[in-house]
Amino acid sequence: KNEVEQSPQNLTAQEGEFITINCSYSVGISALHWLQQHPGGGIVSLFMLSSGKKKHGRLIATINIQEKHSSLHITASHPRDSAVYICAVGGNYGGATNKLIFGTGTLLAVQP
């Protein structure tokens, strides 16, 4: 069983739609990360959160520690939001490390 599960794996939306991507995890964590990966391959950190909710522009990330669940929302989606969105968790796994455990990603395509 994967330690980090994302859904859906693929998502197609029309421009302007509200989008939700979900992430569930089964391990203890210190923080959950949402990352964006564009077709060229580079990875950009969007959010790091350990409780509650964070907002940046049209992006909102929430986490429920008790439920071991997080969601990434995109409001008023735009074609430039098309990318792979990855959930990853980091934890106190011992020692001087905070390795991230990654989900498989959600491929989002926003059509004009």
Partner 1 sequence: EPEVTQTPSHQVTQMGQEVILRCVPISNHLYFYWYRQILGQKVEFLVSFYNNEISEKSEIFDDQFSVERPDGSNFTLKIRSTKLEDSAMYFCASTGTVRTDTQYFGPGTRLTVL
Under the rule (CB under 8 A), what is the footprint of partner 1?
A: 30-31, 33, 35, 40-45, 48, 86, 88, 90, 92-105
3-state secondary structure of 80: helix
- Taking the complex as a whole, how short is the minimal distance between the CB of residue 43 and partner 1, in angstroms? 4
Which among 43, 11, 5, 3 is positioned nearest to 23, based on CA atoms?
A: 5
For partner 1, which is the closer residue by CB, 17 or 54? 54
Q: CB of residue 22 vs partner 1: minimum separation in angstroms? A: 16
